Structure 1
Amino acid sequence: MPSSAPVGPRIRLGSGDGSSFHMACGVLIALIGAVAAFAFNAIYARGWIDLEVYREGGAAVLQRTSVYSLIVGDNWLKFSYSPFAAMLFTPLALVGMEAAVALWVLISILALEVLIWILVGRAAVGRHSRRTARTLLVVVAMLPLYPVTLTLWNGQIGIILLLVIVVDLTHGKEKWRGIGTGVAAGVKLTSLIFIPYLLVTRRFRAALMAGLGFLGTVALGFLVLPADSRDYWGGEFLDTQRVIAGQGVNFFNQSLRGMLMLVSGSWPTVPLWLALCAVVGAGGLWVAARTAKEVGELAGITACAIVGLLVSPVSWPHHWVWCVPLLVLWAQRAQRVDSTLEKVGVGLLWFVFLLPGYIVLATLFIYPSHVGTWLMSLTGSYVLGGLSILLALAVRFGRSDWRRRRHGSVDG
């Protein structure tokens, strides 16, 4: 599992000695992605379904119509985010869909590059030119991963929120740390998992700031959109059917709930699911706290995010963009300890997040009757992979505690 050094200095993009060239290449990659997305949407008008929902939500705010009565596109999608999020999306409604697609893809890829630049900086890579070159290589390796590609293709906000949380909890000023995470939770409620994480790591001020940041987004929503806020916080946010377009799509749910459904063929009973979530949630947060203490903050944050993905009622494949810090940090550890077994593990995990998703898509178009088998491999690989990471960390810390107690009793 990943390792990270203690949090270093604040973000400072280097220059000189090849850094400028590599950074220009990164910007070029983002621009190429944005132009390609613009052209594809202009010609075929396919993809970016979530971005279309964002735009319609923003347009509803501008037109003073109900955000939660929206039905968008042929898939009958509904707006499932908070009123605060709808307010944030209003600029998207001021431009055409093609321009919104290009701008969103550009920002998302740039956010991915900044995130990886931060992650790469956790290892001792020497000069800035080496760091930017390695960042560029990692970006190229991460862009094809199914969660990343699907995030860009759907126009999802996941990569941007991931960057906000990482910057907030590792590079923000100490007295304001947690505010960004709270605002991220105000956009996407699954980010609330980081508040109990901050509590169990005894970062009480950061947890308080995260809570205040979240409550601030709620208050702003009631101030600007009182009717929508009453609807949303009155019960709409609990309706998982708002994010499920159809019974068949449910099988793409990469969470414990989705896994139970895939195994049993129907939705699991609520008590069974809640009991499993309680065990995984409590144990996972303990693992995340220990990871932050003994391995590093970035690794702890990533472990916490995995817990959130597992216990969430719905975790689509693109929600698993947290595979990016997981892979980068684990690869750094494997290189540092020079473990062939761990290097192979990193490679296998990279293939898990690369191949199954594309195989499922291909099967849906070519052999739809055989898609069930591949859906099992897709959901199983994500959920079992996340559980395996947490279990491996728990075993590692348990053995470490046992050795410590054993040596302590011997010394005594």
Structure 2
Amino acid sequence: MPNPAAPTRRVPAWQWVAMAGIVLAGAAIPVVRYLIFWPKDQWQVDVEVYRQAGESILLGRPIYEAMTEAPQLLPFTYPPFAALLAIPLALLPFGVVGWLWTAAQIAATTAIVWYAGYRLIHARPSDGRPGLARPIVLGLLAAPMFWLHPVGDGIRFGQVNAFMVLACLMDLRRPRPRLLRALPPGALVGFAMAIKLTPGVFVIHYVLSRRWREAFTAVGAAALAWLTAFLILPEASWAFWGGALQDPARLGPNMGTSNQSLRGVLMRIGPDGALGTGIWLVCVLAVGAYGFRIAQRAHRAGDSITEVAAVGLMACLLSPVAWIHHFHWMVVVILAVLGAAPWRDRRRLVAAGVLLVWFTCRLPWWGISWLGHGWSPDFVGRLLQNADLIGGLLALWLLHWSLARDLDEAANRERGQV
């Protein structure tokens, strides 16, 4: 007899067309705002940085000395391997690159929802979910994600975070995507780390979990990419590893509101000097121990989405610099909190809704307005100014809460079967 769980027919093409329409409708708000009505001198400024790095290679000029045009004057801050990947961007007009990059970000964010929300997307109507087609569910889940402040800022600047999140998610998600059958686990994390150093937090997770093969694969993949870049661009490699990497000022003002990491917030509220550094290190150890513990527990429970979400938050909270757009990980976090069947536990819907609203509202800029107008009390403005860090810590606790509920439900089912 045929397996009743197997699909009996292919999904009609119109459903995928409808999904694309829903996704584009959701993405239209930040796209129209930031690509049509945004000032030209602030248009896709990070894509301009990437493109200029590729252009520097083609022209033979120093990658880490070049700056984008005024008023931004932004330097390239990524490893030389990322500059090699940026060469194709230099072969196209900047306006074309900006639109293509935005389309790629929309596609990558939709793919993140597909992989992180697969439990919801593939849930059966018999489980209590309304009988919606998988593409429609994907579109409905993806559309509001583009309203998140970090995702919108990624579109605004033309950032790379959507691709980093997608690579790490695909590498760790179980069941493993069919596209990666030929790649060993850890390879995509290593590739992402070769482009941007922050995915290296997953290597820490591998080591703490004693998953040595994945750790060695990730480090080996990154090292191979960096060695390739060194052989092609030796001077640029020396300039990056021997100088640019140690210069935090290249990233911009670390005390600015956009830096929502633990260090960024502590730099704003004090104290300064050795005491401030000591407090930061203590906070890093405490939050890191809590977050990596959640990730390890999720891995043992087979919940790879919560695992990726927790480690991704560590990349934001523990890094010395975490701009608002780095919190693109909230897409994975929200889907992890929703779980497999949120209609059975509406507290999950409330928790995910709180995170969605929290990171949709541009709370740090509300704080800037509050402080700028001199409204009282002052501490409300400070809380709002640092709201993404607070939201990140709240999200970490909600991951712990949702994972504990899953484990309790599994234990209750097991006891009921005995």
Please indicate the TM-score interval, normalised by the length of the shorter structure: 0.7 to 0.9
1:36-55 map, 5 Å: 36=32, 40=36, 44-55=40-51
1:175–1:117 CA distance, 2 compared to 1 (3 A): closer
Aligned AA (2:111): V
How many aligned positions are there? 385
Residue of structure 2 equivalent to 1:313: 320
Match of 1:289 among 275, 285, 296: 296
Q: Which residue of 1 aligns with 2:3?
A: none
SS of equivalent to 1:67: coil
The residue type equivalent to 1:160 in the other structure is F
Residue number among 229, 235, 238 corresponding to 1:227 in the alignment: 235
CA contact (8 A) 2:186 2:217 kept: yes
Alignment match, 1:92: 89
Change in Cα spacing, 1:94 to 1:401, as seen in structure 2 (3 Å) is closer
Retained in 2: the 8 A contact 1:146–1:358?
no
C-alpha contact (below 8 Å) 1:60/1:67 kept by paired residues? yes
| CA shift digits 1:75-119 (9 cap, x unpaired) | 332111110011111111111111011000000001111111222
* Residue of structure 2 equivalent to 1:178: 186
- Matching residue within 107, 110, 117 for 1:113: 110
CA distance in 2, matches of 1:349, 1:52: 31
Tell me how far apart the structure 1 counterparts of residues 97 and 367 of structure 2 sit (CA, whole Å): 25
TM-superposed deviation, 1:43:
7.9
Q: Which residue does the alignment assign to 1:63? A: 59
Tell me how far 1:34 sits from its aligned partner.
Answer: 10
Equivalences for residues 6-405 of structure 1 within 5 A: 15-16=11-12, 18-25=14-21, 36=32, 40=36, 44-72=40-68, 73-123=70-120, 124-126=122-124, 130-170=133-173, 171=177, 172-173=180-181, 176-244=184-252, 246=253, 250-264=256-270, 269-294=276-301, 296-332=303-339, 335-340=342-347, 342-357=348-363, 359-360=365-366, 363=369, 368-369=372-373, 376-391=382-397
Find the aligned partners of 2:338 and 2:387 in 1 and give their Cα distance: 19
Q: Distance in 2 between matches of 1:19 and 1:120?
A: 18
The SS at the match of 1:87 is helix
User: What is the CA distance between 1:335 and its match in structure 2?
Assistant: 1.0
AA in 2 matched with 1:196 = I
Alpha-carbon displacement from aligned partner over 1:145-181 (angstroms, at most 9, x marks no partner):
1101100010000001111111122223386111111
CA gap of 1:29–1:176, structure 2 versus 1, over 3 A, is: farther
TM-score (norm. length: structure 1): 0.82
Letter of the aligned partner of 2:138 in structure 1? T
Residue pair 1:303, 1:390 contacting (<8 A) in 2 also:
yes
Q: Is the 8 A contact 1:57 1:90 kept in 2?
A: yes
Q: Give the Cα–Cα distance (whole angstroms) in 2 for the partners of residues 392 and 320 of structure 1.
A: 16
Shift of 1:374: 7.6
**Unmatched 5+ residue regions in structure 2?**
1-5, 126-130, 409-418
For residue 320 of structure 2, give the secondary structure of its aligned residue in structure 1.
coil
Residue correspondence of structure 1 range 401-412 to structure 2 within 5 A:
none
Q: CA separation in 2, counterparts of 1:397 and 1:331?
A: 10
Mark the CA change 1:101 to 1:126 in structure 2 (over 3 Å): closer, same or farther.
same
**Deviations along 1:354-381, whole A, 9 cap, x unmatched?**
11348449949xx955598786344532
**CA gap 1:242/1:59 in 2 versus in 1, 3 angstroms:** same
Note closer, same or farther for the CA distance 1:396–1:97 as it changes in structure 2 (3 Å cut): closer
The aligned amino acid for 1:296 is: D
In percent, how many aligned pairs have the same letter?
Answer: 27
| Correspondence for 2:411 | none
Distance 1:56-1:273 versus aligned 2 partners, 3 A rule: same
Say whether the 8 Å CA contact 2:161–2:326 is kept in structure 1: yes
Give the AA of the match of 1:229: S
Provide the rounded CA distance (Å) in 1 between the counterparts of 2:318 and 2:93: 37
Q: 1:95 to 1:388 in 2, by over 3 A?
A: same
Q: Deviations over 1:316-364 (max 9, x none)?
A: 1100011111112212357154133x33222221111011348449949
Cα separation, 2, equivalents of 1:32 and 1:57 = 29
CA RMSD of aligned residues (A): 3.4
CA distance in 1, matches of 2:77, 2:169: 24
Q: Post-superposition shift, 1:393?
A: 5.3
Q: Give the equivalent residue in structure 2 for 1:410.
A: none
Q: Measure the CA separation in 2 of the matches of 1:344 and 1:395.
A: 13
